[in-house]
Amino acid sequence: MRLQDKVALITGAASGIGRETALLFAKEGASVVVADVNDAEGQETVRQIELAGGKAVYVHSDVSKAADCEHMVNTAEATFGKLNVLFNNAGIMHGDDDNAVTTEEAIWDLTMGINLKGVFFGCKYGVPALRRAGGGSIINTASFVALIGAATPQIAYTASKGGVLAMTRELAIIHARENIRVNALCPGPLRTELLMNFLNSEAKKQRRLVHIPMGRFGEAKEIAYAALYLASDESSYVTGTEFVVDGGITAAYVTPE
């Protein structure tokens, strides 16, 4: 198994990419800390892992709060003895996130608090734990919109994911000699509840689909397999990357200089 004897902490693991990754990591041998604010669904993720014979524990974590992030890392070490993989995946895409003129400051602050500060807090408390374990892998969920911008306006989300990408690069450089790898996972448009709720009309969905060479939305499980590679020792020489899994959308719209 590709994650045998490893301990992984996954934020936003109650649904979408987080849940699919938690299930896959457990299947591949990892003990999983499921972190989320949705207690019922987070515990359901744990239940599914345990039914399949895996090991998992749930911890309530609002990643925009430093104390919650410290607690989730402490839970990983107290429950499973160490932390090897940190997947900073939790994020929001608010329905009132629009262009710079119409988006309210409160929506901007909420989005930044979860999507960007949440990654910072995860690393603030996760890096020392990874050091204690002798190194490991940090995976931060960014987005294809951090690379090319979004056709449907979502200014706070796009800016937050651009920040995740920049922070990932710096973290990778700073911690490279500590055997800590840091990579940004950049999914394309996915058929997840998060995006489908944002693209809440057929017209909005088609506006996204027309840009995707593969002609379909991706599935959360397809991103989970990318995360598995970055979490495993197979990616031992991979750090500081924009790991793009997007159905070809950035290839179609990014022109080399």
Q: How far apart are CA 250 and CA 188, in angstroms?
A: 9
CB-side neighbour CA atoms (13 Å) of 61: 36
CB 129 within 8 A of CB 75: no
For residue 239, which of 116, 138, 119, 132 has the smallest C-alpha distance? 138
- The answer to whether residue 157 is catalytic is yes
H/E element holding 239? Answer: none
Counts of helices then strands in the chain (DSSP H, E): 11, 7
Q: Quick one: tokens of 6?
A: 């490893």
Given the residues 58, 125, 157, 237, the one annotated as active site:
157
For residue 249, which of 153, 144, 146 has the smallest C-alpha distance? 144
Q: Quick one: tokens of 129?
A: 């734990």
Q: Are strands 31-36 and 7-11 parallel, antiparallel or unpaired?
A: parallel
Q: Quick one: tokens of 253?
A: 């719209």
Q: Which residues are catalytic?
A: 157
